[in-house]
Amino acid sequence: MKLFVCLLLFIAPTFNLNYKKMTIPYSIVISKADLIVDGTVSKVFKNSYEFTISQIVKGKSGSKINVSIWKEWMCDPRIGELKTGQRLILFLEKTPSGNYNPINESTGELYVDKDNFTNIFIAKDFSNATVLKKGVTMYLETYTYQQNLNGSFFYSQKSIFEICKMKENNKFFKFLVDYELAYSKVNYNPVYQFND
């Protein structure tokens, strides 16, 4: 018995029980998403749910789509219960079967309650769905994301001066630019047109 206790005490420090979800920055989630939508859950099945879209922020789709239910785990529990009528904002990737998956599980599935979010991975200042959707639209009009053998890059279609003005109009856009893109490679290469 002493040997077992000694062995347990010896190897116990190697167990890492501090699990933390690796979140993907929303600047990348937005860029990678095939579809970003606001709407409600209309039916819940065993492995998926039917989602009725009320607004498309990015992409194209019919008014109803099927979304896979991601598997919860210790570091990434579902924020709320999936039930008929639940409002969500979804950041989705399309699967080969035609269904959609939320990007990075809970990161891509935001629960909305009376136009506010509950417990999401972005700063609490952005708890308003209207501000978030407008910021996403502004971001999509400004940046594109590319990955190649040399790494990943963000390209801007606007000048730094235009972006500074835009940041004053939307807190979520400001968050994306100042905090998430601050450590990324951004190529500011706007196309200027000169009138002759």
CATH code at position 43:
2.40.50.120
User: Can you give the chain as a three-state secondary structure string?
Assistant: CHHHHHHHHHHHHHCCCCCCCCCCCHHHHHHHCCEEEEEEEEEECCCEEEEEEEEEEECCCCCEEEEECCCCECCECCCCCCCCCCEEEEEEEECCCCCEEECCHHHHEEEEECCEECCCCCCHHHCEHHHHHHHHHHHHHHEEEEEECCEEEEEECCCHHHHHHHHCCCHHHHHHHHHHCCCCCEEECCCCCCCC
Residue 193 has pLDDT above 70, yes or no: no
pLDDT, one tens digit per residue, over 9-22 is 555 555 544 455 66
Range of the domain at 121: 26-188
Looking at the structure of the chain, the number of domains it has is 1
Flag whether 3 is in a domain. no
Flag whether 19 is in a domain. no
Q: Enter the pTM of the model.
A: 0.80
Flag whether 178 is in a domain. yes
pLDDT, one tens digit per residue, over 73-119 is 767 667 777 899 999 999 999 999 889 999 988 788 888 888 777 66
d(CA 4, CA 10): 10
